[in-house]
């Protein structure tokens, strides 16, 4: 379990928050603290006050993958193959084993044609897919995704969603503007003005959000 206690950081004011394994979607208005929370959960930022524990450890002591919402901010290397293999090389995996792992990863994500492409030639969506491949190639315990799906078309976003569901990653935490996608996850955290206003299974949270802009269109059609 991810446990957040007495967290006060910037706009965020969260007394207690527990996140169980599975896919958790973080939603809410612009400026509500979503990205700030994701950076704290991933260990990119340290809380001004309070604590975050991932299965009893601080986030920086847990193998974590991160994908920024801005495609170019995810990229460090010149080619897709080098970018995806960078995580493995940082862990001192041998070149032959890393190459084999990268090729398998790209096959599973259906992005093998990108293998030898220069990163500078990629579209925004292709850069996000490359970053996601690099972030998940080691099957970390936690993956944090900041609106990655805003750069993907519907079919590709669903393919990646299925890829993540079938992975062995314990915690998948994503900020998304796609309420239909959020509804297919295991849990939702709804933030407003830095506070957790609603949390729980999609049915519970979206019932509370009925009549708002965050209510999924498919559910409106069922009314």
Q: Which two tokens stand for residue 142?
A: 């936690």
Q: Which of 139, 170, 188 finishes a domain?
A: 139
Range of the domain at 26: 1-63+141-223
Q: Which of 107, 139, 171 finishes a domain?
A: 139
Same domain, 32 and 135: no
Same domain, 146 and 57: yes
Same domain, 178 and 219: yes
Residue 46 DSSP symbol: -
d(CA 220, CA 161): 23
Same domain, 145 and 135: no
Same domain, 81 and 171: no
Q: What is the pTM of this model?
A: 0.91
pLDDT at 77 over 70: yes
Same domain, 151 and 134: no
d(CA 38, CA 52): 12
What pLDDT, in 10s, does the model give residues 7-45? 999 999 999 999 999 999 999 999 999 999 999 999 999
What is the percent of the chain where pLDDT is above 70? 98
Same domain, 150 and 130: no
d(CA 3, CA 135): 23
Same domain, 146 and 217: yes
For the chain, how many structural domains are there in total? Answer: 2
Same domain, 135 and 147: no
What pLDDT, in 10s, does the model give residues 168-221? 999 999 999 999 999 999 999 999 999 999 999 999 999 999 989 898 877 766
Query: Are the C-beta atoms of 37 and 44 separated by less than 8 Å?
Result: no
Q: CA angle, 146 as apex, 144 and 152 as ends, to 5°?
A: 115
């Amino acid at each position: 379990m991810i446990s957040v206690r007495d967290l006060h950081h910037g706009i965020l004011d969260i007394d207690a928050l527990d996140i169980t394994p599975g896919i958790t979607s973080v939603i809410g208005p612009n400026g509500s603290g979503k990205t700030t929370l994701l950076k704290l959960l991933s260990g990119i930022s340290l809380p001004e006050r309070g604590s975050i524990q991932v299965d009893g450890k601080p986030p920086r002591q847990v193998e974590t993958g991160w994908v920024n919402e801005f495609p170019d901010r995810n990229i460090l290397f010149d080619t897709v193959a080098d970018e995806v293999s960078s995580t493995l090389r940082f862990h001192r995996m041998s070149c032959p084993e890393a190459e084999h792992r990268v090729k398998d990863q790209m096959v599973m994500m259906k992005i093998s044609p990108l293998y030898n492409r220069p990163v500078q030639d990629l579209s925004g969506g292709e850069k996000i897919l490359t970053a996601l491949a690099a972030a998940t190639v080691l099957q970390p315990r936690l993956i944090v995704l900041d609106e990655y799906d805003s750069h993907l078309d519907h079919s590709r976003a669903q393919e990646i969603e299925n890829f993540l569901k079938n992975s062995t990653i314990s915690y998948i935490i994503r900020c998304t503007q796609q309420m239909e996608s959020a509804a297919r996850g295991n849990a939702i955290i709804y933030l407003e003005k830095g506070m957790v206003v609603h949390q729980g299974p999609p049915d519970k949270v979206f019932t509370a959000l009925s009549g708002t802009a965050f209510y999924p269109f498919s559910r409106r059609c069922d009314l």
